[in-house]
């Protein structure tokens, strides 16, 4: 661990030099990249330096324990006890800080919600989930921006794609990817029978231009007249945009804005996020399999969470957590679920890291 921490501190010092280099200051992309890395390492380096100071102070106090003066020896004993406790705390903090961090944690989020099995009821529940996430974002003073949406006849969503603007948004939302199942009596059910419907949620980190470069020669841009409900000029001009990324075959459409330019900018944001996700999945086979198992095809299998209206409960099947306050959760109070998931997956990552660093026989 100490070798790794020493290496981190050396990298931190190198970054400080780079950030004061006039050539780097002229290069906006390089400066942003190094600034981001410098900020990410700052907490680890500060904790490591405090830990070294604590070890040095502990060594001095241990020497004073040998003093013949009972008063000095007594004070030294108190100091050793306090510093030993501080040392143990800092060791735990350093292990936590050295647990591999998702480089996307601080980014904005592309939130994609799609109705799966269940027809109109699935569309209505997709709207419920979007409202839940919107209120959670609002509670954290984050901004929710709709990028594209497709409505059902009863006011639900076939699909809605939005961006959550806020520092650290991805670290909070990333465990929401998967199939969300709802059990309730639909408003259209005359006989009071409980139906089960499913909605898929996909969470993607926003990709900046420095993360993903899109070659203009590799995309096809089509413009057409917007369809569906819209305000004045929305479906009377060719403002809707469809972008096809030719190498990957990915297609993104956006028609919510009156301006063709704004629709294109939004579509490019979504395309860039999907390309980053595709790139990372190709680089990491394991992550690809995890994402497939989470999101699936939108049917009732592979669920990560169930919202049961008759019993007023929400159950997250990955961590076995059941909460009997469905109404407040759908009202945006999902912190307990998110914190429980973060703790669970952080512990798994630490165990994996420990196992990977264990000495072989």
Q: Of 124-128, 211-215, 236-240, which has the strongest mean pLDDT?
A: 124-128
CB 206 within 8 A of CB 273: yes
DSSP helix/strand/coil, 258: coil
Q: How far does CA 89 lie from the centroid of its chain? A: 28
Judged by average pLDDT, the poorest of 19-33, 169-183, 272-286 is 272-286
User: 2-98 architecture in CATH?
Assistant: Up-down Bundle (1.20)
N residues, the chain: 361
Average pLDDT, the chain: 84
Helix or strand holding residue 326 (H, E): helix 326-330
Tell me how crowded residue 342 is: count the other CB atoms within 10 A of its CB.
14
Boundaries of CATH 1.20.58 in the chain? 2-98
* C-alpha dihedral, 79 to 84 to 90 to 94, nearest 10°: 150
Which range has the top average pLDDT, 95-99, 339-343, 354-358? 339-343
Task: Count Cβ atoms below 10 Å from residue 294 Cβ, excluding itself.
Answer: 20
Domain limits, CATH 3.30.160.20, in the chain: 216-282
- What average pLDDT does this structure show over 317-344? 93
Instruction: Quickly name the fold that domain 216-282 has.
Output: Double Stranded RNA Binding Domain (3.30.160)
Least Cα distance to 83 among 125, 50, 36 occurs for: 50
C-alpha–C-alpha distance, residues 295 and 204, integer Å: 12
Q: Is residue 297 pLDDT above 50, yes or no?
A: no
Nearest to 149 by CA among 238, 253, 221: 253
Query: According to the model, what pLDDT value does residue 125 have?
Result: 95
Look up the CATH architecture of domain 109-207+296-353: 2-Layer Sandwich (3.30)
Residue 237: its pLDDT value, please? 66
- CA pair distance 121, 13, nearest whole angstrom: 56
For CA atoms 78, 83, 85, 86, the dihedral sign is positive
pLDDT of residue 231 exceeding 70: no
For the cut 90, the answer to whether the pLDDT of residue 312 exceeds it is: yes
pTM of this structure: 0.64
Q: Please say if the pLDDT value at position 138 is more than 70.
A: yes
Q: Would you tell me how many other CB atoms lie within 10 Å of the CB of residue 332?
A: 17
Give the distance between the most distant pair of CA atoms in the chain. 93
Instruction: Round to whole Å and give the CA distance between 51 and 56.
Output: 9
Mean pLDDT confidence for 31-35: 91
Residue of higher predicted confidence among 127 and 360: 127
């Amino acid at each position: 661990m100490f070798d790794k921490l020493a290496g981190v501190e050396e990298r931190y010092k190198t970054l400080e030099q780079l950030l004061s280099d006039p050539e780097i200051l002229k290069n906006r992309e390089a400066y942003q990249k190094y600034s981001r890395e410098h900020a990410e390492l700052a907490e680890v380096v500060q904790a490591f330096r405090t830990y070294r100071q604590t070890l040095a102070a502990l060594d001095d106090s241990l020497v004073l324990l040998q003093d013949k003066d009972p008063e000095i020896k007594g004070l030294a004993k108190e100091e050793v006890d306090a510093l030993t406790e501080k040392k143990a705390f800092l060791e735990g903090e350093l292990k936590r800080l050295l647990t591999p961090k998702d480089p996307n944690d601080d980014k904005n989020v592309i939130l994609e919600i799609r109705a799966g099995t269940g027809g109109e009821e699935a569309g209505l529940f997709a709207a419920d989930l979007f409202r839940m996430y919107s209120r959670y974002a609002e509670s954290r003073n984050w901004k929710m921006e709709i990028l594209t949406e497709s409505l059902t006849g009863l006011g639900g969503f076939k699909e809605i794609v939005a961006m959550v603007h806020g520092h650290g948004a991805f670290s909070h939302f990333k465990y929401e990817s998967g199939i969300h199942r709802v059990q309730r009596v639909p408003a259209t059910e005359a006989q009071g029978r409980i139906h089960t419907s499913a909605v898929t949620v996909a969470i993607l980190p926003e990709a900046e231009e420095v993360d993903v470069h899109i070659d203009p020669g590799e995309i096809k841009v089509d413009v057409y007249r917007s369809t569906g409900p819209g305000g004045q000029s929305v479906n009377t001009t060719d403002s809707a945009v469809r972008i096809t990324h030719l190498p990957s075959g990915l297609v993104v459409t956006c028609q919510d804005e009156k301006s063709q330019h704004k629709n294109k900018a939004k579509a490019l944001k979504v395309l860039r996020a999907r390309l980053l996700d595709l790139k990372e999945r190709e680089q990491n086979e394991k992550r690809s399999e995890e994402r497939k198992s989470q999101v699936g095809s939108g049917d009732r299998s592979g669920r990560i969470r169930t919202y049961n209206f008759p019993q007023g409960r929400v159950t997250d099947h990955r961590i076995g957590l059941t909460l009997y306050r469905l109404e407040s959760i759908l009202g945006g109070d999902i912190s307990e679920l998110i914190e429980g998931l973060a703790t669970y997956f952080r512990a798994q990552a630490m165990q994996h890291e420990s196992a990977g660093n264990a000495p072989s026989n």
